[in-house]
Structure 1
C-alpha cells in the first residue's frame, strides 16, 4: 500500500497540472516547483532515511513515514495557494523518503529464502508498475468528479490502511552493525541540489545570464563538491562513494537517472499539451497517457529475462536508445498534430523505461553485500527522483524560455496590464484563459500564437532530452559491464571499505 501511493503520486499529479493553472493561477515555473519540491526532498533524504531505518528499526521508520506522508497529503489537498502546496509537497517528500528505502529492506529481512525473495520483489516491482499505470486515469477520474485536492486526499485512506497492516504483519528488524546517520551529508545534498534546481527553474524568468541565477547555480555546484568531500572523509557517510568505483553500480545509477530524466520531463509537458493543446479533459488525458505507464509495467518484469539472455549492457543501452527515439518523435509534434501523431513516441518512452529501470536495479543491487541492501534500494530511489527532478527542471525551463521568447514580442505592442502580461507569459493556460475572455478574432489569434509558442518550446525541451538519452546509451554501451564480476563483493569485500573505517 505504501509503495502504491508513492508511485501513484509520481503520475497522478501530472494530470492535475493544467487544473492547477486554472484554479490557482500557477505559472509553468510554479508547476515545476510543485513537482520538484517532492522529488528534491525525497531524493535528498532517502539515503539518510535508509541508514536510519537500518539503525533504529525498519518498521518504526517505515510507519513514521506513512504517517508523515498521509498528514502532508491532507495539507496539500486543502492548500489555498501555490506556495502552501509547494511546502506540502516537500512534506510528502519527507514521508516518502522514510518509507521507500525500508520497503526492500523489510522484504529482504522477511523473505530469507532466495526463491521467495525473488517472488516478493516481483510483487514489489509489479506494485510500482501498477501505481505508475493507474495514476493518470485515477487522477482524471477524481478531477472529473471532485476538486483538485482529491488527487492528494486519496492517499490518506491508503496510508491509514498501511499503518494498520504494518503493525499487524510486519516484524521489527534492524542492522546491528548499521552506521550512524549522516545529517550533515543530507543537509549538504539538499542544499546543493536545491540551489542548482532553483537556478535551472528560475532562469527563464530571471534571465539565464542574470547574476542571481549564475550565483545560485555556482553555489549549488560548490555545495555539492563539499558534499562529496564530506562523504569521502566521513566515518559514517550517507553515501559510500567507494560504491561508485564499481562500474556496475555507478553506470547503473546513471542510466536510471537518464531514463527518468526523459520520462518525467516528457510527462510534465505532455499532460499540458494534451489538455491545453489538443483540448482533452483531465480524464481523457489520463486515459491517453495510460499506454506509457501500461507498457512500462508490462515490459519491466521481462527486462531481467532479457538481461540473462543478452547482458545488462545491451538491455540498458538499447532501452536508452528507445527512450531517445520516443522523445525525438514527440519533439516533432506541431499545432496541427493529433493524438495518433504522438502515440508512437509515448509507447517508445514506456518501452525504453521498462527496459532500463529493472536491468539497472539488478546491476546495482548485484554489486552490494547483503548488509547494504538498504543503501542499494535507496540509491536506486535517489536516481529515479533526482533524474526526474532534473528532467522536469531542464525540459520545463527550455519550454518556458522558448515560449516566452515566441509570445513576448507579439503581445508587447498591446501594452497589457502587468498582471495580464505575466499571466500570458507565465503559462499556456494563462494565455488561453485571456483569449477566451477576449473572444472574437483577437482571442483566436492569441490562442493560436500561444499554442504555437508552447509546441515550439516543447519540441526544444524534448529534443534536448533525446540528446541526453543518446549520450546515456553511448555511455552504457561503452562502460557498463555486461555480466557481474566473478569476484562480486561480499560483506567484507571491497565495496564495504571506506577511509573512515579502514
Structure 2
C-alpha cells in the first residue's frame, strides 16, 4: 500500500508542481513560453500516449516487474531533470518521467487488487490510493514553491529520486504477481501512430503560435497530425487486440465520460498553466507566493475528490458532472477579473468553485464509465479514461499557452482564454446531459 501510494504521489505531483517553477526555469535556461509549454507537455503527452501500453505490459510481463521498472525509470529521469544543463535535456528527461509514470499507474492498481482480495478492503485501499493522489495534487504548488524558495527549481525534480527509490525497495518486498493475460498482443502500430498523432498535434499548437500559422513546417505538421489520427483509427478498427478498443465508444455513457474527462483536463490544466505564468510574469510573484495563491484552488480539488462518492450516491452522476461543469463556468467567469489586474482576493473567490468542480467531475465520470464495461475489461476502460484526461491536459497547456503568445495585449489574451474555458465547460455539461439522457431512455443505464 505504501509503495503504490508513494508512486502515485510523485506521478501526480509532477503534473502540477512544475507550474510554479516556470519563471525560474525560463530565467535559468533562457526559455520562452513555447519552451515552457514543452517542459510541461513532454511529461503529460508521454504519460497519455503510453498509458494503455503500460497496462498491456503489466498484463504480459507481470505487475511487480513493470512497476519496479517504472519506478527506476522515473527516478533516473527525475535526476536528469534536476541536473539538466539546458532546455532540450530537461524536455528529454521529462519524456523519461512520462514513460515511468505510464508504467506505474496501471501496475499500481493491479498490485492493490492482488494485495487486497476482499472487495471491501480493496475499495478502501483504492480510496486511500486515490486520496493520496488528491493530496499530492493539492500540495504540489505549495510544496514546489517552498522547495524552490529554499533550494532552487532543480529541487522539485531531485526530491523524486529518494521517494522513488524507497518505493522500489518496498516493492521488492511484495510477493511476485504473475501475469494473467500472457497472450495479450502489444499494439505496436497503434502505439506509434498515437505518439505521432498526439505529438504532431501539440507541436503544431505550440510552435504555430510562435512561428506563425502560415509557415510551411507548421502546415506539414498539421497534415502529419491529420494523417496519423486517421491511420490510428483505421488500425484500431482492424486489430483483434487494439490498444484503444473503439467499440467501447458505442456506449453513450462511455463516450460522454471520456469526453468529460478530456474537457475537464483541458480547461483546468490549461488555465493552471496560464495562471502560473500570470502570477509569476505579469505580477512578479515568487514561486512560493504563487504556490500559496493556488492553495484555495488545489485544496478544493482534494475536498471535491473525497466528497464525490457521497455526492454521487445522493444525486447521481448525471447531476453531479453537470453541476461540476457549471461550477467550472461560474468560477471561470469570475476569472475575467485577471484581465483588469484586480486584487488577488477577487481572483481567489473564484478558485473554490473551479477546484471543487474539478474534484467531483473525474470520479463521477469514472464511476459512470465503469458501469458500461465488463469487469474483465475494467482495467483497459480505466486506462482509456486516464489517457483522455492526460490528453486533454496536454492540449489545454498547448492551446492556452498559444493564446497567451498569439493574442496581444496580455489582458485580451486572458479574456479570450477565459471565454474559451467557459464555452468548453458549458459544452461539457450539455454533452454529458444529452448522452446520459439517451442512455437512460434507450438503454436504461445504471450510471445515471
**TM-score band, normalised by shorter chain:** over 0.9
Equivalent residues in 2 for 1:350-365 (5 A)? 350-365=355-370
Distance 1:329 1:168, change over 3 A: same
- The answer on 1:473 being equivalent to 2:429 is yes
Query: 2:311 — aligned with what?
Result: 306
Instruction: Provide the residue aligned with 1:274 in structure 2.
Output: 279
Q: Distance in 2 between matches of 1:157 and 1:373?
A: 32
Task: Specify the alignment match of 1:57 in structure 2.
Answer: 62
Tell whether the 8 Å contact from 1:43 to 1:97 is kept in structure 2 after alignment: yes
Partner of 2:211: 206
Task: State the aligned residue count.
Answer: 440
Give 1:159 shift: 0.3
Match of 1:246 among 232, 245, 251: 251
474-483 vs 192-201, greater mean Cα deviation: 474-483
| 8 Å CA contact 1:262, 1:327 repeated in 2 | no
Query: Is contact 1:69-1:91 (8 Å) kept?
Result: yes
The 2-side partners of 1:317 and 1:366 are apart by 18
Whole-angstrom distance in 2 between the partners of 1:246 and 1:109: 29
Find the partner of 2:398 among 386, 393, 396.
393
Shift of 1:18: 1.0
Aligned counterpart, 2:11: 6
Q: Which residue of 1 aligns with 2:118?
A: 113
CA distance in 2, matches of 1:85, 1:267: 21
| TM value normalised by structure 1 | 0.84
**Alpha-carbon deviations, 1:381-439, whole Å to 9, x = none?**
21221010000111110111013xxxxxxxxxxxxxxxxxxxxxxxxxxxxxxxxxxxx
1:339-350 pair list within 5 angstroms: 339-350=344-355
Structure 2 Cα separation of the partners of residues 209 and 363 of structure 1: 43
**Larger mean Cα displacement after TM superposition, 170-179 or 378-387:** 170-179
Q: Give RMSD over aligned pairs.
A: 1.9
Pairwise CA distance, 1:332: 3.4
SS at match of 1:172: coil
Partner in structure 2 of residue 462 of structure 1: 418
Distance 1:336 1:346 in 2: 16
**Deviation of 1:292 (Å):** 1.2
Deviation at 1:486, TM superposition (A): 6.5
Rounded Cα–Cα distance in structure 2 between residues aligned with 1:395 and 1:147: 27
Aligned partners of 2:36 and 2:241: how far apart in 1? 37
What TM-score, normalized by structure 2, do the two folds share?
0.94
Q: 1:140 aligns with which of 145, 148, 151?
A: 145
Matched, 1:320 2:320: no
Q: Distance in 1 between matches of 2:398 and 2:336?
A: 17
- Please state whether the residue corresponding to 1:169 is helix, strand or coil: coil
Q: 1:360 to 1:488 in 2, by over 3 A?
A: closer
- Structure 2: unaligned runs, 5 residues or longer: 1-5
Equivalent position of 1:495 in the other structure: none
